Amino acid sequence: MMCYFPYKPAWFLENGAIATVYTALWGQRYWQNTIPHPEPLYKKTVLMGGQNVPIHTWIAIPENAHSTIVGTYGITGELDSNWLLRSLATKAYAQGFAVVLFDWRGHGKTAELSPTLMSDGLFEGEDFVRMAAATAAMGCPRKFWFTGFSLGGQLALWGLKKAADLTKDNEYFGLRYSDIAGGVVLCPNLDKMRSLKYLVSYPFGRYLDSVIVKSLKKLAWQIHDTHSGSLDPAAIQRVNSIWDFDAELVIPKLGFPSVEAYYKASNALQLLPEISKPTLIIYAADDPFFPPDIIPDLQAACGSNPMLDLILTRHGGHLAYMSSKKNQQQAQDPDPWWAWNRVLQWLKYMISLN
C-alpha cells in the first residue's frame, strides 16, 4: 500500500452531509477552474454492451497513452452534466491515460438508444468488459482500470468480477484476462438493502431519497416517451422512493420476485472476496448515504483479500473530499480534489510495480 497524506477538510466540511451538498453545488459550477488542464476532445460513439444493448460512449486517447480508465457515474446523471467523472477523466488524460466514459443502462443518451433499465451491476459488469474489448480494438492501451463512484462503484466492482468470469480461460471479443489491470472505486454502494433502510431512517436521508427519486422518475418518463410502451405509466406514477422505483420498474423486467431478492443478488459486498485484480476503495466514515455498520464488514473483506487496498477516512462525506487550502499544500496536490489525486497517485504506484 502506498503512503498518502491524510484527508483534512476545512472545518465547515467536517460534517458529512454538509460536505456532500456543498461540494456537489460548488464543484458543478467551478470544477473546470480548479484543474489546470483542458478537457479532452472526446470521440462520441455508440458501442455494444452485454446482450447487445447500445451504450453511449466518450473516448479520448492521448499521445503515448500507457493505460486506460473505463468509468461511469452514480445512481443518476449523464455524461454531459457529470462534472465529477469528467474531472477525473481530465486529470487522468493529462497524465497519459486513455479515458472511456459511458452513460450506463437507463441513463443519459444510452436511455435514448434503448429502453433497457439498470440492473445495479448484474448486467452492467459485462458492459464494462465489452467497453474494454471494443476500445482496445480502437487503440486504447490494453491495461484497463475499471472505475466508478457511488452506485457506479458497485458497477465497476461487478465489472472486475465479470472480467474474471469472461476472460480468465478464454478471450472475450479479443480481450484477455491480462488486459484487465484492476479497479478504483470511490464511496461505492456495497449493500443497497442496508443503505436504503438507513437513508430513510433520518430526515436528511429522506430528503436525499426524495431528490434522487425525482430524477429517477424524470428519467422513467423520458424512457416512456422515447420508447413507446416500454414502461407502464401507472407504475411510474406509483413511484415515491428509490425502493419503489426498483419494485415497480426494475425487478419485473429482471424477473426477481422481490426487491430484497434483487438487492441480495446485486450486493457488491459479496464480491470483495472474489476480486482478483488490484483494486483501490476510498470510503468515508461520515458518508450520509451509507450506514456506519457497513464499515466493519468492508474492513474485514479488505483485510482478507490482498488485492484490495482500502483508504478509510474519518471525513469526506459522499464523494465530497474537497481539501482545504492547507491540506492541498501539505499533500502537494495540484487542486482541491483529494480523492482523485489519491486515485491517480495509487494508479501511478501500481503501474510502477509492473
- What does the alpha-carbon distance between residue 279 and residue 324 come to, in Å, rounded to a whole number? 27
CA distance 347 to 184: 8
Residue 60 phi, psi (nearest 5):
-140, 130
d(CA 152, CA 135): 20
**For cell 452534466, what's the residue?**
81
Q: Which long-range contacts (CB under 8 A, 24 or more apart) does 202-206 make?
A: 204/17, 204/288, 205/288, 205/289
Residue 190 backbone phi and psi in degrees, to 5: -115, -25
Instruction: Indicate which residues carry an active-site annotation.
Output: 150, 287, 318
For the chain, the helix, strand and coil percentages under 3-state DSSP, each to the nearest 5 = 50, 15, 35
Task: Give, as one character, the DSSP assignment of residue 137.
Answer: T
**DSSP strands (E only) in the chain:** 43-48, 54-60, 67-72, 97-102, 144-149, 180-186, 279-284, 308-313
